Amino acid sequence: MTSSPTLPYRIGFGEDAHRLSGGRPLILGGVPIPNAEKGAVAHSDGDAVLHALADALLSGLALGDIGQYFPDTDAAHKGLDSAVIVARALDLVQERGYVPANVALVVTLDKPKLGPLRAAIAQNVALLLGLPESEVGVSFKTSEGLAPDHVQTRVTLLLVRSA
């Protein structure tokens, strides 16, 4: 067992990727993406933003990764709403006396263009973390055709000691 964290600030970082395939919904940051021809191949709902977000929360306090808490070999997690994963990670962070302060997330996806959904994704991520929308930065990139059947996400966040 490691000693209790005492730093006033802790940085968290998470990353996730899913292969995309036809006939599946694409959900990012809890927001269903309209006009997506392909969706994530996954055991859960395949929300790459929320998976990276949960890993960022856990990594900030060296709590491991979501695979330890929600193994994809567990049938109970099939089709799981990834908001549940984020809520669990947030609980673990808060139990240790920290809260998230701000978040920066990057989604790399070739199609469809996500710009019109920036506010919806920021609002939903803010809601899940109990933050104002102004504390959630959302960036969109493409792979420039290098990975057209792939969604990749990266999330960094700052945790502050609250107790």
Annotated binding site: 16-18, 43-44, 51, 65-67, 70-74
Q: Smallest gap, in angstroms, from Cβ of residue 44 to Zn ion?
A: 7
> Do 13 and 56 meet the contact criterion of CB atoms below 8 Å apart?
yes
Q: Does 51 bind Zn ion (CB under 5 A)?
A: yes
Q: Which is nearer to Zn ion, 16 or 110 (CB)?
A: 16
Number of residues forming the site for Zn ion (CB under 5 A)? 2
Q: Which is nearer to Zn ion, 72 or 95 (CB)?
A: 72
Structure tokens at 145: 């055709």
Q: Which is nearer to Zn ion, 27 or 98 (CB)?
A: 27
Tell which positions 13-42 bind Zn ion, by CB under 5 A.
16
Residue 33's Cα: distance from chain center in Å? 15
DSSP track, 30-62: TEE-TT-SEEE--SS---HHHHHHHHHHHHHTT
Residues listed for the chain: 163
Q: Which residues bind Zn ion (CB under 5 A)?
A: 16, 51
